[in-house]
Amino acid sequence: MAIDNFPISGRPLDVRVVHALAMIKRHAAATNVELGVLDGALGDAIAPAARAIEAGEHDEHFPIDVYQTGSGTSTNMNVNEVIASLAGQHDVSVHPNDDVNASQSSNDTVPSAIRLAVALAMRDELAPTLLALADELRRAGDRFAEVVKAGRTHLMDATPVMLGDECASWAIMIEQAGGDIDHAVDVLGELPLGGTAVGTGINCPPGFAEGVVASLAGETDLPLRAAAGTPGRMSHQGGQGALATASGALRGVAVAITKVANDVRLLSSGPATGLGELRLPSLQAGSSIMPGKVNPVMCEAANQVAARVFGNDVVVGYAASQGILELNTYLPVMADALLESVTLLANVSRLMGDKMVAGLEADVEQCRRHADRTPSLTTALNPLIGYDAAAAITKQAIAEGRPLAEVAAEQTDLTDEQISAALDPAPMARPHDT
């Protein structure tokens, strides 16, 4: 019925939600047996059926569109029915509602499954790729530790910096975004299982939620815990702030990746008429008409991923705000947006590290040439002659196209040695090194 009702996108709900639901059903069955809600034979039949679904052996049996009933009831019932059908092969009659869905409702299992699926994806798919990208950026920082170049603010020449320090700063941004992912996983760990229809726990025996969640936590090693009492469960069934928090963390990753991608493509621009301070690995032909052109294709892919993640964050933020009384009915679209963002960010982070950062090269001579030419070198003269006198030297040198040192020698009483030492870009890039 649900298949016929929702022929909308042609895309089923992300199967990772189905796998998480099956995991919950398996642990729910075991807990229900312990509490005397289910007969042991039923639990024994449900467990392998659910585990097979978790393993992806029956993904083709979950075709219901993303855009379905907002509680995800269609997918929950799909899972119940497939488990019941598979379990029935063990010569046990298993009812999808009375047995597989015992002590549960779509309204508590679906939001719990979404949290579980997103938390697992964030921890297992995204976090490792961010760590690897940060490590690769730090290695680039080590390679370029002694490469001095012009700094730039407002896209204008500024005082010198070390290329290695720029790369290390990118690594820090990625690491901080990864820390936000870790925090989001913790926030997602509070589950409304046991709330059943409206958070009150009707038809759910005492101890059910605690038993299921403890079992899930032990298996997944996630920081899972049962929401406390009816108000706690209501907060995660009617409200979806945890999903909004997760989406915000994913947006933060997109922000950091965009920063890195834009800096790399600007520093590698040219090579003849741009900055040309970095050389990108040649991954593919850059043009169908211009021979030998190398484009920042990985940067462009990363920025497109970021655009999608920013859009998905808008979807999740709006959807999370639409919880009405005891239920939010935007659950499937939030799950779809979150899991898509995780997948895209994980994939592009891995590719950025492997195919771009690992192969980055510095044009050391070009970097030094720009560092020597930046007019902001006169900043180092401020303590010696004052801001106004240094500004006058800068303006005259620019206007006349002359070296700063030459104009400084004419305009001040400083010795050539003093001027040369002050205008050396390398010490300026690390003023506090001894």
SS3 at position 225: strand
End-to-end CA distance of the chain: 75
Reading the block at residue 63, the tokens are 């075709």
Angle (CA) 165-166-172 rounded to 5° is: 85
Q: Please confirm, yes or no, whether 154 is among the known catalytic residues.
A: yes
Distance of CA 148 to the CA centre of its chain: 32
d(CA 17, CA 110) in angstroms, rounded, equals 8
Is there a contact between 142 and 164 (Cβ–Cβ < 8 Å)?
yes
Marked catalytic residue, from 154, 288, 341, 349: 154
Task: Give the contacts of 341 (CB within 8 A, at least 6 positions apart).
Answer: 247, 250, 254, 308, 309, 312, 313
Buried b (16+ CB within 10 A) or exposed e, 79-111: bbbbbbebbeebebebebeebbbbbbbbbbbbb
Reading the block at residue 213, the tokens are 């969640």
Of 330, 334, 333, nearest to 248 (Cα)? 334
Residue 412 burial by Cβ neighbours in a 10 Å radius (0-12, 13-18, 19+): middle
Residue 34 burial by Cβ neighbours in a 10 Å radius (0-12, 13-18, 19+): middle
Q: β-strand 225-226 against 190-191: which pairing, if any?
A: parallel
Marked catalytic residue, from 93, 287, 321, 420: 287
Q: Please confirm, yes or no, whether 287 is among the known catalytic residues.
A: yes
Reading the block at residue 425, the tokens are 């870009």
d(CA 230, CA 199) in angstroms, rounded, equals 5
Catalytic residue numbers, as ranges? 154, 287
